[in-house]
Amino acid sequence: MRRKILKPRSSETFSGTELRRMLGKQYRPPPGPSRGRDRVRRPAGERGSAVRHWTAEEEKLLGRRPDFEVAQLLKRTPRAVEAQRLKLGRKFGETPVRWTPEEIKLLGAEPDEEVARRLGRGLQAVITRRQLLRIAKADPERPDWSKAEDALLRQFPDAEVARRTGRSWGAVKHRRSRLGLGQLFSPHPQWNAEEEYLLGTTVDAEVARKIGRTARSVALRRRALGIPPAAGQRQPGRKWTRAELNLLGKMPDTELALRLKRTVPGVFHQRKIRGVPRFNPRRPWRKDEMKALGTASDAKMARRLGRSQSEVRSKRESIGIPAWLYRLHR
C-alpha cells in the first residue's frame, strides 16, 4: 500500500498536528512562551479581569479583624487578604482597638449589624461587647424613650423604672448611662413598711418580683424579722448537730440518711468535707475467731462468725491455714 505523503499547508512550515502525526513520540514542540514558572502570576485571590490595588484605608483593616471578616467587608477573597497581611508583616490581634465611650453609646441603640457596619468592627465583637456590658439588644418594635420615662430615671431605681416602663433592667441601665445620670440611688435601698408587710405572704421569688428586689435579699430580710416562710417555700437545709456528725462513717450513707431524715447526697457531702472515711463493714478479727478457722467449711464458719464466705476464705489463706476438707483427708 502506498503511504500518503503529507505536505505542508504552506511552502515553508508544517503545523504542530502534522509534525506530531509524522514523528510520533519523537516530536518535541518548539520553545515558545513559557507556561509554568516563568509566567507572571497574580496575587492569590486576585485572578480575573483586573488586579485591584490595595488602598491605605483597606490596609488599615488588616490584622485588626479576622481575615474572613475583612474579605467580606472589602469584597475580596480570604486568600488575598491573608497574602496582603503577611506581605505587610502584620499578625491578627497584634493591634487591638479599644472601645471608646462614643462607640459604647451606640451599643443597644441600633441593631448590632448596623453598629458593626458603622464602627468597622466584626458582628461577633459587637455582640460580645454589648453582652459584657449587660446592654439589651436593640428592638426595632420598641418605641423610643419619652420625656416622662426619662424623668423616672431621676426619681426611682433601675428596678422600679423597669417595672413601670415595661423595659428590661439592661435597657434602663443603658439609658441612664447614655443620659450621663450615673447611679443616683443606692443599690440596697431601705425597707419600708409596705415591703415588709408582703414578707411571708407568698414565696420569696414572687415577693421579690413585686417590690423589685432579689429573692435572696427578701429571704434574708424575712429571716431577720423572724417571719416564717409561706406554704410552698423551699426550706434551706437545717444545721448539723454534734450528735449527727458523730454518726458519720458509723453506718452506710443510705441508712444514715433514712435515720436522720436527710438526703443521701447531703450525708455524703458532709462526710467528705470533714474527711470521714466511708463505713467499712469489716470488723477486726479476734484471736478466738482466727483459731476456729479451718475447723469447719468456709461456708459454715461464715454463718457461725457472721461474716461473708469470701472474707473467711481470704483470712484463712492469709495466715496459712489449709481448708477443712484438705485437713480432713490428710
**264 contacts 278 by C-beta, under 8 angstroms:** no
Q: At what angle do helices 112-119 and 123-132 cross, to 10 degrees?
A: 110
The identity of residue 161, as a single letter, is V
Q: Three-state DSSP class for 288?
A: helix
Q: How many residues does the chain have?
A: 330
Cα–Cα distance measured from residue 76 to residue 148, given in angstroms and rounded to the nearest whole number: 49
Cα–Cα distance measured from residue 32 to residue 260, given in angstroms and rounded to the nearest whole number: 97
The identity of residue 242, as a single letter, is R
Q: What pLDDT sits at residue 182?
A: 67
Predicted TM-score (pTM) of this structure: 0.26
Cα–Cα distance measured from residue 187 to residue 112, given in angstroms and rounded to the nearest whole number: 30
- The tens place of each residue's pLDDT in the chain, 330 residues long, gives 455 555 545 445 667 777 777 777 677 776 655 454 444 455 444 455 567 888 888 888 887 777 877 888 888 888 888 888 888 777 665 445 678 888 888 887 778 888 888 887 777 778 888 888 877 777 655 677 888 888 888 778 777 888 888 777 777 877 777 777 766 665 566 788 888 888 888 888 888 888 878 888 888 888 888 888 887 766 666 788 888 888 888 888 888 888 888 888 888 888 888 888 877 766 788 889 888 888 888 888 888 887 778 888 888 888 888 887 755 555
Cα distance between the two ends of the chain = 111
